């Protein structure tokens, strides 16, 4: 494609009498990188020395018009080398693009001189431009998301896409760092192949892998199905995104600091901290000292635990060596291996980059062989924002705040990690049932005692039960409570674990999965079940404490009643209405629609009237909707 376009441009330049000296047709973008796609734009620069402006404008018209008439998507400019340098200095995106400037036809020395000047200016201004470059990376990642985990990734703009490869080239051009030489080019070319197939299948310049085009792209590229296509895109984008993270980190560390001028010669030695087990910490990275062999079975777990707990990253060389040489712990795992594993998982959000580095190196699948079944596996529910494996790790990170609130934080972490292990290819809606025995097998391989492995299996099997009962069943129906009590084996500590797992899972999925409405329903049902398990008759005690007069008034005229009660922890609403299926969920939704968060809820019925108490996060009545309005809505 690139050679065909270039040949046409060279012929056009010659046909219209393009001068060999003082003027050149140059290219940037995908044409300059020889990565042109079927529907890519052609980015051209007519470069001139500025000596014959009248002639160059006429020549430009003769050059552009045939291209426009042919229907080519053309982005063009006419500039001198000085004007190129000026634009590059003012606009970051233009400056990065001009680093690829390459001759198509005409004066090669003019183009080479212009490109040399652009590269020199880029390097000399590295201190100034690097913060701007990194800010643009963060902004684009926030707005476009991560191509490795999106259901419809933007192959060009999202993290791990083509723009990130341009950023890698720009960062290496500063001479502050070098881009990774291994593991980047192949996934990048794979994404280019997907883009080319997407252009052909859609018939337009489409860079987002939308669901409607994915089947045709998968067929064209001879993938088994669209899941296999998405998995390939995810793995490729992960490699590129990880390479960008490492390169950015190296660039920040290499950026020269401003120092006070001194004539005293000082010998600079590397500064590192010696850590246990032959590990060292240097420049924010965990590595191995000279005497430590990466083949030691527990070293990967210990390095991951140290990096995650300290908020550091694994040295790229260390991660690569661990992936290539480290063996798995003995099966079942010794206690030291489990301790290091739990230490890594209990580090909150810090576990995510460490886990990703170990996963890319191949360590995770060696420790948990069944992890491979969900690695880069796409989700089929729009509520989810991540692939199955990333969602599982995000769930572990979300569980961090619950670790001091459960009796077995180790079981909670393991259940969070393995709760979706059954979502392999073809699992469908039965992934919890499929994943439960897989989770137990993994727990046993890690050396958990039989009762603990059985508990992990139970939590994985029922990780959706609480949410489904809370949002689809009547809380006042005894069968609802019976189903939940049966799911937790009648044990309060298991109910607590399941409640924390449910919240962590929902928060990791996305805002839609843990809305105020859903959280209120889940917490209310869990609280009712908890009261039942500890032997409290919450319904009868509440009816005695609640306003029996409210219930009597509702029975007389059928109209709902609401009483507001200020409490130390926030306002409490007592709402009485004729009991009906869905009343509780409708009330929760009504409060959520007015941005009122529910801290807890207690339900009861008396003579066909539901009298429910809602503890809210609001402190003053003025922050609530008008009570008469709420009554009308009920």
Confidence of residue 546 (pLDDT cuts 50, 70, 90): very low
Mean pLDDT score across all residues of the chain: 88
Give the span between the Cα atoms of 603 and 596, in whole angstroms: 18
Q: Is residue 267 part of a domain?
A: no
pLDDT at 540 over 50: no
CATH (domain of 622): 3.30.70.260
Instruction: Name the domain boundary from 89, 124, 159.
Output: 124
**371 contacts 422 by C-beta, under 8 angstroms:** no
Confidence band for 535, pLDDT divided at 50, 70 and 90? low
The pLDDT of residue 267 is above 60: no
Written as six digits, the tokens of 155 are 């192959």
Identify the helix (H) or strand (E) that includes residue 279: strand 279-282
Question: Do 518 and 621 fall within a single domain?
Answer: no
> Do residue 505 and residue 395 come from a single domain?
yes
DSSP string, 127-140: HHHHHHHHHHHHHH
Query: What average pLDDT does range 292-299 have in this prediction?
Result: 91
Please check whether residue 331 lies inside any domain of the structure. yes
pLDDT tens sequence across 349-407? 999 999 999 999 999 999 999 999 999 999 877 778 889 999 999 999 999 999 998 99
The CATH number assigned to the domain holding 113 equals 3.30.460.10
C-alpha span between 520 and 517 (Å, rounded) = 5
| pLDDT over threshold 60, residue 543 | no
pLDDT above 80 for 59: yes
Report the distance separating Cα 53 and Cα 357, nearest Å.
54
Cα torsion 367, 368, 369, 374: sign: negative
Q: How far is CA 352 from CA 81, 114, 304, in A?
A: 45, 43, 11
pLDDT digits (tens, 9 = 90+) for 478-530: 899 999 999 999 999 999 999 999 999 999 998 778 888 888 889 889 988 88
406 within some domain: yes
| CATH number of 220's domain | 1.20.120
Same-domain pairing of 106 and 236 = no
Quickly count: other Cβ atoms within 10 Å of residue 135's Cβ: 11
Summarize the confidence of residues 67-82 as an average pLDDT.
91
Tell me, yes or no, whether 528 and 566 share the same domain. Answer: no
Domain assignment present for residue 262? The answer is no
Range of the domain at 596: 539-633
Structure tokens that stand for 59 in this block: 């020549």
CA angle 103–106–111, rounded 5-degree value: 45
Give a yes or no: residue 259 inside a domain: no
Is 500 in the same domain as 407?
Answer: yes
Q: What's the total number of domains in the chain? A: 5
The average pLDDT across 301-306 equals 96
**172 in the same domain as 51:** no
Task: For residues 26 and 138, state if they share a domain.
Answer: no
Q: Are residues 544 and 509 in the same domain?
A: no
Instruction: With cut-offs at 50, 70 and 90, classify the pLDDT of residue 2.
Output: confident
Question: Do 525 and 388 sit in the same domain of this protein?
Answer: yes
pLDDT band, residue 542 (cuts 50/70/90): very low
Residue holding tokens 């959000």? 349
Domain termination site, one of 225, 254, 283: 254
Q: 536, 569, 593 — which closes off a domain?
A: 536
Do residues 217 and 356 share a domain?
no
Quickly state the pLDDT bin for 341 (edges 50, 70, 90): very high
Per residue, what are the HEC states of 475-524? CCCHHHHHHHHHHCCCCHHHHHHHHHHHHHHHHHHCHHHHCHHHHHHHHH
Question: Quick one: the chain helix, strand, coil %, rounded to 5?
Answer: 60, 10, 30
pLDDT, tens digit, for every residue of 457-470? 999 999 999 999 99
Asked if residue 275 has pLDDT above 70, the reply is yes
> What is the bridge-based pairing of β-strands 279-282 and 285-288?
antiparallel
Residue 260 domain-assigned (yes or no): no
Is residue 269 domain-resident?
Answer: no
> Could you tell me if residue 442 is inside a domain?
yes
* Residue 44, SS3 per DSSP: strand
Residue 223: band (very low, low, confident or very high) from pLDDT cuts 50, 70, 90: very high
Clarify whether residues 395 and 456 are in a common domain: yes
For residue 469, the surrounding DSSP H or E stretch is helix 465-472
Q: How far apart are CA 162 and CA 140, in angstroms?
A: 12
pLDDT digit string (tens) for 560-610?
888 888 876 678 888 888 888 878 888 888 888 888 877 777 777 777 888
pLDDT, tens only, 115-169: 999 999 998 888 888 888 888 988 998 899 899 988 889 999 999 999 999 998 8
For position 538, what pLDDT does the model report?
Answer: 43
Residue 392 sits in the same domain as residue 519: yes
């Amino acid at each position: 494609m690139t050679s065909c376009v270039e040949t046409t441009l060279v012929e056009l330049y010659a046909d219209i009498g393009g001068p060999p000296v003082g003027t050149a047709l140059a290219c940037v973008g995908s044409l300059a990188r020889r990565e042109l796609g079927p529907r890519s734009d052609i980015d051209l620069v007519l470069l001139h020395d500025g000596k014959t402006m009248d002639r160059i404008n006429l020549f430009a018209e003769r050059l552009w018009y045939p291209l426009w008439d042919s229907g080519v998507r053309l982005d063009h400019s006419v500039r001198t080398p000085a004007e190129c340098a000026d634009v590059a200095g003012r606009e970051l995106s233009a400056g990065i693009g001009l680093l690829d400037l390459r001759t198509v036809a005409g004066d090669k020395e003019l183009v080479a001189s212009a490109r040399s000047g652009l590269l020199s200016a880029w390097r000399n201004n590295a201190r100034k431009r690097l913060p701007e470059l990194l800010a643009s990376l963060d902004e684009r990642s926030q707005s476009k998301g991560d191509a490795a985990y999106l259901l419809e990734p933007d192959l060009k703009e999202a993290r791990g896409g083509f723009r990130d490869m341009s950023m890698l080239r720009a960062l290496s051009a500063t001479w502050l760092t070098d881009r990774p030489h291994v593991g980047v080019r192949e996934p990048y070319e794979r994404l280019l192949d997907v883009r080319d197939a997407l252009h052909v299948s859609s018939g337009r310049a489409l860079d987002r892998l939308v669901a409607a085009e994915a089947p045709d792209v998968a067929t064209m590229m001879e993938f088994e199905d669209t899941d296999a296509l998405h998995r390939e895109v995810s793995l490729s984008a992960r490699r590129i995104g990880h390479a960008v993270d490492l390169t950015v980190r190296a660039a920040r560390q290499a950026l020269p600091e401003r120092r006070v001028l001194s004539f005293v010669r000082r010998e600079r030695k590397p500064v590192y901290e010696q850590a246990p087990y032959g590990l060292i910490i240097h420049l924010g990275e965990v590595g191995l000292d000279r005497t430590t062999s990466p083949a030691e079975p527990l070293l990967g777990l210990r390095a991951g635990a140290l990096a995650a707990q300290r908020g550091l990253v694994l040295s790229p060389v260390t991660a690569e060596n661990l992936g290539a040489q480290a063996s798995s712990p003995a099966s079942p795992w010794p206690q030291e291996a489990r301790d290091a594993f739990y230490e890594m998982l209990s580090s909150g959000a810090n576990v995510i980059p460490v886990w990703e580095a170990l996963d890319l190196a191949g360590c995770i699948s060696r420790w948990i062989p069944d992890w491979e079944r969900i690695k880069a596996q796409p989700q089929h529910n729009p509520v989810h924002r991540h692939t199955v494996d990333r969602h599982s790790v995000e769930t572990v990170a979300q569980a961090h705040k619950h670790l001091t609130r459960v009796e077995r934080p180790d079981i909670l972490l393991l259940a969070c990690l393995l709760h979706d292990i059954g979502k392999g290819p073809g699992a469908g809606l039965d992934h919890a049932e499929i994943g439960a025995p897989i989770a137990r097998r993994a727990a046993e391989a890690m050396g958990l005692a039989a009762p603990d492995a059985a508990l992990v299996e139970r939590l994985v099997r029922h990780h959706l039960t609480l949410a489904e009962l809370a949002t689809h069943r009547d809380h006042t129906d005894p069968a609802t409570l019976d189903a939940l009590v049966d799911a937790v084996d009648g044990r309060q500590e298991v109910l607590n674990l399941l409640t924390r797992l449910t919240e962590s899972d929902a928060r990791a999925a996305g805002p839609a999965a843990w809305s105020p409405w859903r959280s209120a329903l889940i917490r209310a049902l869990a609280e009712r079940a908890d009261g039942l398990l500890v032997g409290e008759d919450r319904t009868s005690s509440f009816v005695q404490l609640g306003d029996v007069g409210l219930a009597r008034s509702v029975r007389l005229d059928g109209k709902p009643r609401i009483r507001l009660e200020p409490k130390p922890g926030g306002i409490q609403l007592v709402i009485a209405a004729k009991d009906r299926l869905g009343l509780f969920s409708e009330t929760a939704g009504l409060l959520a629609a007015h941005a009122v968060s529910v801290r807890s809820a207690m339900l009861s019925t008396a003579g066909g009237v539901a009298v429910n108490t809602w503890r809210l996060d609001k402190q003053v009545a003025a922050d609530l909707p008008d009570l008469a309005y709420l009554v009308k809505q009920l």
